[in-house]
Amino acid sequence: MEYLLKNYYNQGLAGEMICKKTGKTFSDYTNASGALTKHIQKEYDIEIPSKYERSKYLGKTGKYWHEDFFDFNLVNKKPVRKCQHCDWSTVDIENKTGCFEVHLNQVHNITLEKHLELYPDDIKYHKNFQKQLELNKDHIECTICNAKLERMTKQHLDLHGISFSEYKLKYPNAKIFNDRLTKISSQVLKQRNQQKNFKKLYTSKAETEIYDYLNSKGIILEKTCRSLIDGEIDLVDHQRKICIEFNGGYFHSEKFKDKNYHLNKTLACGNKGYRLIHIFEDEWIFNKELVLNKIEHIFNVNNKSKIYARKCNIIQIDSKTKNEFLNKNHIQGQDKSKIYYGAYYNNNLVAVMCFSKTTLSKKDNPDDWELTRFATDINYNVVGIGSKLINHFIKNNKVNNIISFADLRWVDPNNNFYIKNGFKQVSISTPDYSYFATKGPHKNMRIHKTNLRKNKIKSYYGIDIKNKTELELATELGYIRIYNCGLIKYCYEKN
Cα-only R_g, the chain: 36
φ, ψ of residue 228 to 5 degrees: the values are -85, -50
Residue 243's pLDDT band, with cuts at 50, 70 and 90, is very high
pLDDT above 50 (res 341): yes
The number of beta carbons lying within 10 Å of the beta carbon of residue 52 is 8
pLDDT above 50 (res 326): yes
In the chain, the largest separation of any two C-alpha atoms, in whole Å, equals: 116
Residue range 469-492: average pLDDT?
91
Q: How many Cα atoms sit within 13 Å of 480 on the Cβ side?
A: 23
Could you tell me the domains of the chain? 1-78 (no CATH), 140-179 (no CATH), 205-299 (3.40.960.10), 305-493 (3.40.630.30)
- How much of the chain exceeds pLDDT 90, in percent? 41
CA dist., res. 128 & res. 94, Å (int)? 10
pLDDT of residue 321: 96
CA dist., res. 488 & res. 251, Å (int)? 25
Distance in angstroms between the alpha carbons of the first and the last residue of the chain: 113
Tens digits of per-residue pLDDT, 412-462? 988 899 999 999 999 888 899 999 999 888 888 999 998 888 888 877 777
pLDDT of residue 202: 55
- Range of lowest pLDDT (72-76, 105-109, 251-255, 382-386): 72-76
pLDDT of residue 92: 78
Angle at 443 (CA atoms; ends 441, 444), nearest 5 degrees:
150
Q: What is the pTM of this model?
A: 0.59
- Range of lowest pLDDT (187-196, 321-330, 486-495): 187-196
Tens digits of per-residue pLDDT, 167-216? 765 676 777 787 777 766 556 555 555 554 545 555 688 999 999 999 99
φ, ψ of residue 274 to 5 degrees: the values are -110, 145
